[in-house]
Amino acid sequence: MTVTGADFLRAIAAGTVESSPHLAHLGLRLTHVEPGRVTLEWRPGAELTNRSGVVHGGFIATALDDACGMASGSAAERPTLHLTMNLNVDYLRPVHAGRAYAVTGEVTHGGRTRVLTRAAVTDEEGRLCAQATSSLTPNRAVTP
């Protein structure tokens, strides 16, 4: 049996494969995987806030980048890390520490050397807080 990228990410979501350490630091948890689409639950901590008292935009961008990368990886034939070539983020609403958010990522174009994705952060009411588009390339030099 061949392990696909989606299988590998499902094992991370199930806790049978170790997740990347920075996800726990950010408060992100992978909860759903299907080929080309992932969902993460996000409850950012106070340590991610800026002087304005809201989550710093760099951490929001990181969450969106993670969702794009995992979506890209979930569409791969085998476990493959993907390198971000471009990330464009739009911030629409503040993200607050201690509140629950969903971060979703999906592939919009799958290619052999370039994958296009989009991601979104939504609050508990389903309102869009931030969104991103990204292009990624498979990193064939490293196997997860």
Q: For the chain, give the mean pLDDT.
A: 95
Q: For residues 20 and 12, give the distance between their C-alpha atoms in angstroms, rounded to a whole number.
A: 9
User: For residue 70, which of 128, 15, 127, 29 has the smallest C-alpha distance?
Assistant: 29
Instruction: Enumerate the domain spans of the chain.
Output: 5-139
Mean pLDDT of 95-121: 97
pLDDT at 120: 98
Q: Give the global pTM.
A: 0.95
Arithmetic mean of pLDDT, 24-31:
95
132, burial (CB in 10 Å: exposed 0-12, middle 13-18, buried 19+): buried
Confidence of residue 86 (pLDDT cuts 50, 70, 90): very high
Q: pLDDT tier at 75 (50, 70, 90 boundaries)?
A: very high
Cβ-contact 96, 54 below 8 angstroms? yes
Mean pLDDT of 110-137: 97
> 5-139 maps to which CATH number?
3.10.129.10
